[in-house]
Amino acid sequence: MSRPNPDAVERIAVIGTGVIGGGWAAHFLRNGMRVAAWDPAPDAEAQLRERIRVIWPKLERIGLHSDASPDNLHFYQDLASAVAEAEFIQESVPERLPIKIETLQNIDANCLPEVLIASSTSGYPMTQMAVQTQHPERCVVAHPFNPPYIVPLVEVVAGEKTSAEAHQWAIDFYRATGKQPLKLNKEIPGFVADRIMEAVWREILHMVNQDMATVEEIDAAVRYGPGLRWALMGPLTVLHLGGGEGGMAHLIHQFGPSLKAPWTFLDAPELTDELANKVIEGCNQLMGEKTIRQLEEERDDLLISMIELLDRSELWQLGR
């Protein structure tokens, strides 16, 4: 078998069908593909089919391929059967390195020789995960953002043994499905977007730990301030505009020393039980009576509306 053209893939295997894997299944089904799924949890199939049922109206709003149908989902009782005829495989098992290594080894041993294997890991480099595979040259990281069926970004990262051809094929494949792939050639812990988000998370933990701000105040600060701007443009573009006519050069030279003022916490605080409980209790109070399902519904509706609006902007299209 030769690898199909990236825009001609019809058969997908999704290994691991939790929040991320299920989201990937929905994304591929929306694109008119046939999805073979596997997850060892005893109720995995029922949960996945219910999730697809709930998500489907949102996919209809985004736009469906003419061949799209929930009936294109087939759940298998073993991994080998799920990957046997796949033309592309998306792995989304729990974020534990031994589980990743074993799963990728099993996928590699049971799928067709030219099929590309992508891992949804949010932090592990492929070089560490593909150590037991016979064909590491066809393995890439493809880190999505929740929910994968709406948020465009997927960070596609090569391992030390990933071939340049496989890396580019993955980029072209995800783009063909409507994603915004970010091609990364250097393996760094957490990749790009998560490192930025973890820096924010670190600062949040410090402020909560030292009673500088509450969970509610922190969420409000981002939601009604920088979060609005970050939805429109990247943080560096935001700062570039902050320099006025002189742009980034003016901002750095004009405010140089004062820019360091907030850089007081370089290391994350210890995540003690006390700190964890403060964050957890703050989130529970902020959410009130709303369930996770209700919050997901609101999030998805707002994300779709935002993307529909941003699609009309040339600024949103930069780099696509």
- The structure tokens 């087939």 sit at 74
Backbone CA torsion sign across 51, 104, 67, 43: negative
Q: List the Cα angle 33/35/38 in 5-degree steps.
A: 165
For the chain, helix, strand, coil in percent to 5 are 55, 10, 35
Backbone phi, psi, residue 221, to 5°? -60, -40
Q: Provide the token pair at 107.
A: 């996928």
The beta strand positions in 152-282, using DSSP E, are 153-158, 180-184
Beta partners for 143? Answer: 155
Q: For the chain, which residues make up each domain, given as ranges?
A: 6-184, 193-288
Q: Does domain 6-184 have CATH number 3.30.200.20?
A: no
Q: Provide the token pair at 317.
A: 């299209």
Measured CA distances, 266 to 64, 95, 202, 207, 217 (Å): 45, 26, 8, 13, 22
Q: List the Cα angle 8/147/74 in 5-degree steps.
A: 50
- Using CA atoms, how far apart are residues 237 and 118, in angstroms rounded to an integer? 31
3-state secondary structure of 283: helix
| pLDDT at site 312 | 81
- Using CA atoms, how far apart are residues 47 and 73, in angstroms rounded to an integer? 13
Same fold, 6-184 and 193-288: no
| pLDDT at site 240 | 84
Dihedral class, residue 266 (left if φ above 0, else alpha if ψ from -120 to 50, else beta): alpha
Dihedral class, residue 142 (left if φ above 0, else alpha if ψ from -120 to 50, else beta): beta
DSSP string, 103-164: HHHHHHHHS-TT-EEEE--SS--HHHHSTT-S-GGGEEEEEE-SSTTT--EEEEEE-TT--H
| pLDDT at site 287 | 84
pLDDT one digit per residue (tens) for the chain, 320 residues? 578 999 999 999 999 999 999 999 999 999 999 999 999 999 999 999 999 999 999 999 999 999 999 999 999 999 999 999 999 999 999 999 999 999 999 999 999 999 999 999 998 999 999 999 999 999 999 999 999 999 999 999 999 999 999 999 999 999 999 999 999 989 998 899 999 999 899 999 999 999 999 999 999 999 899 988 888 888 888 888 888 888 888 777 776 666 677 777 778 888 899 988 988 898 888 888 888 888 888 889 989 998 888 888 776 666 55
| pLDDT at site 317 | 65
> Which helix H or strand E contains 192, and what residues bound it?
none
- Using CA atoms, how far apart are residues 70 and 72, in angstroms rounded to an integer? 5
| pLDDT at site 259 | 67
Backbone phi, psi, residue 261, to 5°? -55, -45
Supply the pTM of this predicted model: 0.88
- Using CA atoms, how far apart are residues 318 and 320, in angstroms rounded to an integer? 6
Length reported for the chain: 320
Q: Provide the token pair at 175.
A: 């783009």
CATH of domain 193-288: 1.10.1040.10
Collect all residues with Cβ–Cβ distance below 8 Å to 14 and sequence separation of at least 6: 21, 24, 25, 28, 35, 36, 37, 38, 82, 89, 90, 92
Nearest one of 170, 163, 95 to 129, comparing CA atoms: 95
Measured CA distances, 36 to 17, 186, 289 (Å): 11, 31, 37
